[in-house]
Amino acid sequence: MSDIHENQDKPILINWTPDRASGVPLYSQIVSYFSGKISRGEWVSGQSIPSQRRLSQLFGVNRSTIVEAMDELAAMGLIERHYGGGTRIASDSWAALMHAKSPNWKRYITAGSFRSNIPTVQTINHLEFEEGIVRLSTGELSPELVQMDLAKKALASLSERKLFMNYPDPLGMPGLRLAVQAHLKRSGINVPISCILIVSGALQALQLIASGIVQPRSAVYMESPSYLKSLNILQSAGATLTGVPMDKDGILPWMIHNQPREGVCSLLYTIPTFQNPTGIVMPEERRLEVLKYCAEQHMPIIEDDVFCDLWLDAPPPPPLKALDKSGGVVYIGSLSKCFSPGLRLGWLVGPEPVVDRLADIKMQMDYGVSVLTQQVTEELLNSGLYYEGINVTRAQLRERRDFMLRLLEEFFGDLAEWKRPAGGFFVWVKLKHQLSAERIFNLALKEKLLVPPGSIYDPLYTSHLRLTYGYLSISEMESGIRRLSQIVRGPL
Which one is the CATH code of 123-145+388-489: 3.30.9.10, 3.90.1150.10, 3.40.50.1470, 3.40.50.10470? Answer: 3.90.1150.10
What mean pLDDT do residues 118-124 have?
80
DSSP string covering 337-393: TTT-GGG--EEEE--HHHHHHHHHHHHHHTSSS-HHHHHHHHHHHHHSHHHHHHHHH
Q: What are phi and psi of 241, to 5 degrees?
A: -90, 130
pLDDT digits (tens, 9 = 90+) for 128-158: 878 888 999 888 999 999 989 999 999 999 8
Helix axes 63-75, 26-39, angle to 10 degrees: 40
pLDDT digits (tens, 9 = 90+) for 407-421: 999 999 999 999 999
Ramachandran area for residue 298 (φ above 0: left; ψ -120 to 50: alpha; else beta): left
Domain boundaries defined on the chain: 2-112, 123-145+388-489, 148-384
pLDDT of residue 6: 47
Per-residue confidence band for 440, with pLDDT thresholds at 50, 70 and 90: very high
CB atoms within 10 A of CB 193: 17
pLDDT of residue 2: 41
Residue 100 pLDDT exceeds 50 = no
Which one is the CATH code of 2-112: 1.10.10.10, 3.40.50.80, 1.25.40.10, 3.40.1280.10? Answer: 1.10.10.10
Name the CA radius of gyration of the chain, rounded.
25
Per-residue confidence band for 4, with pLDDT thresholds at 50, 70 and 90: very low
Regarding the domain delimited by 148-384, which CATH topology (the fold level of the hierarchy) does it fall under? Aspartate Aminotransferase; domain 2 (3.40.640)
**Whether the Cβ atoms of residue 212 and residue 233 lie closer than 8 Å to each other:** no
Q: What number of residues does the chain have? A: 492
CA separation for the pair 338, 91 (Å, rounded): 45
Per-residue confidence band for 30, with pLDDT thresholds at 50, 70 and 90: very high
CA separation for the pair 98, 218 (Å, rounded): 46
pLDDT of residue 5: 46
Residue 107 pLDDT exceeds 70 = no
pLDDT digits (tens, 9 = 90+) for 443-453: 999 899 999 89
Of the candidates 119, 340, 324, 311, the one whose C-alpha atom is nearest the C-alpha of residue 230 is: 119
Highest mean pLDDT among 45-59, 114-128, 292-306: 292-306
Burial of 473 (0-12, 13-18, 19+ CB in 10 A): middle
Q: What are phi and psi of 212, to 5 degrees?
A: -110, -15
